[in-house]
Chain A
Amino acid sequence: MANAHTNDHPADKYYVPHESPWPIYGSATLFVFMIGLCGWLNEWYGPWIFAVGVLMLVGLFVGWFAVVIGEHQRGMYNMQVDKSFRMGMMWFIFSEVMFFAAFFGALFYARQLSVPWIGGEGVKFLNGLLLWQDYSPAWPTNGPEALGPRDDGSFETIPAFGLPAINTAILLLSGVTITIAHHALKEGNRRILNIFLAATFLLGFLFLGLQAEEYIHAYTELGLTLSTGIYGSTFFMLTGFHGMHVTLGAIMLLVIWFRTMKGHFTPQRHFGFEAVAWYWHFVDVVWLGLFVFVYWV
C-alpha cells in the first residue's frame, strides 16, 4: 500500500486502484475453507483445516475492508467509482435473489408436482396403485415413508401466527428503523443516526435469537428436523439460508454502526451505509416470502 496513488488525479482522469494482495489471499482463504469442509465431510482432518479457513476468512474481511474504508476516507474514490460500487452491489443482490429462487422453486415444485405425483395423481396413478397405496399426499408431508426422527413418523409444524409473525414484525420494524437512520444521516443528525442504526442491528440479533429458539423447539419437541422428509428439507434450508443472510446482514450493520460512531460517512457520500441498507431490505423481503409460503399458506 506504500506506493498508493494519492488523490491528486486531475478531475477528468479515471481512477484505477493500485495492486492488492487481498484478492489472491481471498481465493486462498476460500480454498482452505472448502478443503476443510470437504475434509470434515469425508472424515479426514477437516475441522482443523476448516478452523484455519474461518480465521483466514475473518482476516480477509477485516483486512480487505480496512483498505477499502481507508481509501474511501482519504477521498480516493470519485463519483464514478461510487456508482460502480452501487451497481456492483445491486447486481450482487440480484444474484442472491436467484440463489433463493432455486430453493423456492424446489418448494413449489415439491408442493405442486412431486408430492401429488407420488400420491398417484393424474397420469401418475400407478404410483398410488403399485408403490405407495396408503400415502395421502397433503402438505405438510415428510413423504410416503414418513422420514424423520420420531418412530411413528409424525411431526408438527410451526404455526405462522406465533413466533414467525412476531419475527415478521421485528424485521419489518428494523426496515423502518434503518430508513429513519438513513434519513437522519442525510440530514446530518448523527445522534438519531447512531440510535436507530443500533436499534436496527439489535432487532436483527433479536430475530436471530427467536429463530434459534424456534429451531430448538422444532428439533426437541416437534419432530421437525432437516431430515423430516421434504417439508423438513425445504423448511430448514430456506429459513436456514435466510438466517445466515440475516447473520451476515446484522454483522454488516454492526460494522457500519462502529463506522458511524467514528464519524464516517457524509450526508452526500455514504455508499457503505446504503449497500448495507439495501442488503438488509433484501433479507427482509426474502423473509416475507418465507413467511407467506413456508409458514402460512
Chain B
Amino acid sequence: MANSTTAHAHDDHDHKPHGIKRWLYATNHKDIGTMYLVFACAMFFMGGAMALVIRAELFQPGLQFVDPGFFNSMTTMHALLMIFGAVMPAWTGLANWMVPMQVGAPDMALPRLNNFSFWLLPFAFTLLLLTLFVPGGAPAGGWTLYPPLSLQAGDSFPLTIFAIHLMGISSILGAINVVVTILNMRAPGMGLLNMPLFCWTWLITAYLLIAVMPVLAGAVTMLLTDHFFGTSFFTASGGGDPVMFQHIFWFFGHPEVYILILPAFGVVSEIIPTFARKPLFGYESMVYATASIAFLSFIVWAHHMFTVGMPLAGQLFFMLSTMLIAVPTGVKVFNWCATMWKGSISFETPMLFALAFLFLFTLGGFSGLMLAIVPADFQYHDSYFVVAHFHYVLVPGAVFAIMAGVYYWLPKWSGRMYNEKVGKLHFWLSTIGVNVLFFPQHFLGLAGMPRRIPDYSTQFADWNMVSSIGAFIFGFSQLLFVYVVWNAVRSGEKAPARPWEGAHGLEWELPTPAPYHSWDTPPPRNVITQGAMH
C-alpha cells in the first residue's frame, strides 16, 4: 500500500529496481515490510471472514448455515490464519520497516534471507488453504492439533503439518534477521540501552521465536510420523502419551503468545510518550520487565492443560509461576500510566488505540489471572471465558497495537497524513464493536457455555446474539482501516518529517517519506543521542 509513494521518493541515486521484480526479488527492508503488511492484512480479512461464519452460525441456537464439521474447520483455520498469517507477519512487517530506521542502519542485516522469509509465507498459506478443498475438508481438531483427534483428519493432515513447517522456517529466518540487525547493525554510539523499546521488545520476541518455533516443528513432525510411519509418541499402547503432545505443544505455545504481544508493548511504549509529550517512565525497568516475561514464558506452559491431569506439585508450580507474570506486566502497565501522569496529552488516532490497548489488554490480563488459579480453571477450562480472555489480549491487545503502529508511522512511510476524522471513526467503531463482541463471552463462559461448538443450549441465546452483532460491527469497521490507509497513501496531505511534535527516535530524523535505504551512512552521534531521548 505504501509502495506507490516510495516509488517516487527523492533519492534517485538509490539503486532501485522497477516493476514486478522489485517485489519478487526484493532486498529492501521497506519493500519487504510492505509486502509483509499487505499479506497480513489479506490474512486478517480472510481469518475475519471465517470468524464471521462462526458468529453467524452462533447468532441463534440450532444449526443455521454450516454443518458442524465445517464449523470446526472454521474455528481451526481462523486461529491458524490469525496467529501465523495475520499477527505474526504484521509484526515482522513492522520490524522490517522500523528496526533499521530506529537503529540507524541502511537495511536489515541479511536482506536476501529477509525476502526468503517473506515469500515462504504465501506458499505456506497456499498449502494451508488448499486443505479447504481436499477430501475430508480442512483440519477441524483445533489449532492446537491435539492427538488423537488431529490424527483423524483426512487428506488435509500432511498439508497442515507441512504448512506449519514452512511458517516455522519463515519465522525462524525472520527472527534471526531481526536479532542480527539489532545486535550488529546499530549505528556507532547507540548502546543496547539507547535503543527504542520497539527494538528491545522485538529483540526478545525474536529470541523467543528462534527458541520455540523448532519445538513446534518437532511436535508436528511427531504427529506426522505417528500418523504415517507407525511411531507411538502419542499412543499409550506403544508406551507413548497423548498428553506428551500437549506438553511439547504448549512449551512452544506459551512463548508463542508472548511473541504475539511483546512487540505490542514496544509500539505502545513508543506512542504513549509521544502523545503525552513526556519521556517514557522507567525505560530500563521496561526492558527488564520484558526480559522477565520472556523468561517466565518458558516455565508456565502447563497452565493450558490443568484439567488434563498432572501431579499436584506440577499444578502448584505452574499456577504460581503463571501468577508471577503479573509482576513484570504490572510494572509495564504502571510505567505507561506514570508516563501519562501530568503529561499534556492529545488524543490522535494512534494514541486512542494505544489507550484502548492499555485498558483492554489489562482486562484480558486480569481474566488470565483468574484462569491461572487451578481450582477456578477447572470450571473455566474450554469455556467461552477462555475465548473471551485470549481474544481480549489478542484483538484489543495485539491487533490494536498493530493498528496504532500503522497510524503512528504511516506518515513516515508514505509521506502523507491519514484522515484523522475517519481514523477516529475507525477507532470508536472498533473499540465499541470489540467490547460488544467479546465482553458477553465472559458471561457465557461463566454460565457454562463450552467453546468450539456450533450449537448451544437456549439459555445462552441472548448474549450470543449480542456477541454476534458486535462481531459484525467490528468486522465491517475494519474496512474503514483499509480505506483510511489507502486514502492517505493516494491523496493524503503531505506530512512533515516529524508529524507528531512529541516524537523522539532516529526514524523521525530521516526525511519524509523515508528514503529507499534508510541510513546509507551511520547517523552522526549527536543525532543518536538527540533521537534516543527516552
Contacts and interface: CB of A to CB of B under 8 A. Distances in A.
Interface in B97-134: 105-107, 109-113, 115-116, 118-120, 122-123, 126-127, 134
Interface string A93-119: 011101111110110011001110110
B327 interface: no
A209 interface: no
B27 A87 contact: no
Interface stretch (B14-22, B55-63, B72-80, B140-148): B14-22
Interface string B228-261: 1111110111111101100110010000000000
Contact of A99 (B123, B215, B238): B215
Interface in B145-193: 155, 158-159, 162, 165-166, 169, 172, 175-177, 179-180, 183-185
Contact of B225 (A92, A96, A237): A237
A80 B238 contact: no
Interface in A23-40: 23-24, 26-28, 30-31, 34-35, 37-38
Nearest to B159: A38
B218 interface: yes
B185 A84 contact: yes
Contacts of A80: 184-185
A100 B248 CA distance: 12
B248 A105 contact: yes
Interface in B315-357: none
Interface centre among A12, A85, A102, A227 (most CB of B within 10 A): A102
A109 B244 contact: yes
A229 interface: yes
Interface stretch (A142-150, A166-174, A282-290): A142-150
Contact of A23 (B28, B113, B158, B159): B113
A236 B231 CA distance: 9
A141 interface: yes
Interface stretch (B276-284, B466-474, B515-523): B515-523
Contact of A232 (B26, B217, B231, B520): B231
B514 interface: no
B264 interface: no
Given A19-B21, A23-B116, A144-B239, A34 B184 contact: no
Interface in B59-100: none
Contacts of A217: none
A186 to B, nearest CB: 23
Contacts of B165: 34
Q: Is the interface of A mostly helix, strand, loop or mixed?
A: helix
Given A96-B214, A117-B241, A230 B27 contact: no
Given A84-B109, A88-B110, A233-B231, A12 B521 contact: yes
Interface string A1-23: 00101000000111011111111
Given A27-B116, A230-B239, A237 B185 contact: no
Given A27-B116, A233-B233, A94 B244 contact: no
A30 B120 CA distance: 8
Interface residues of A, number: 70
B518 to A, nearest CB: 10
B520 to A, nearest CB: 6
Contacts of A100: 218
B106 A16 contact: yes
A84 B225 contact: no
A105 B180 CA distance: 28
A273 interface: no
Nearest to A24: B119
A233 B26 contact: no
Interface centre among B212, B230, B248 (most CB of A within 10 A): B230
Interface in A228-273: 229-234, 236-237
B211 interface: yes
B213 interface: yes
A198 B487 CA distance: 62
A41 interface: yes
Interface centre among B158, B237, B238 (most CB of A within 10 A): B238
Interface string A196-232: 0000000000000000000000000000011101111
Contacts of A105: 215, 247-248, 251
B24 interface: yes
A37 B236 contact: no
A123 interface: yes
A19 B215 contact: no
B46 interface: no
Contacts of A16: 27-28, 106-107, 111, 517
A237 B176 CA distance: 26
B222 interface: yes
B184 A145 contact: no
Instruction: Please give me the 6 A-B residue pairs with the lowest Cβ-Cβ distance, nearest first.
Output: A102-B218, A227-B230, A143-B239, A230-B239, A114-B241, A233-B231
Given A14-B521, A105-B247, 5 more contacts: A14-B522, A23-B25, A38-B159, A122-B311, A230-B232
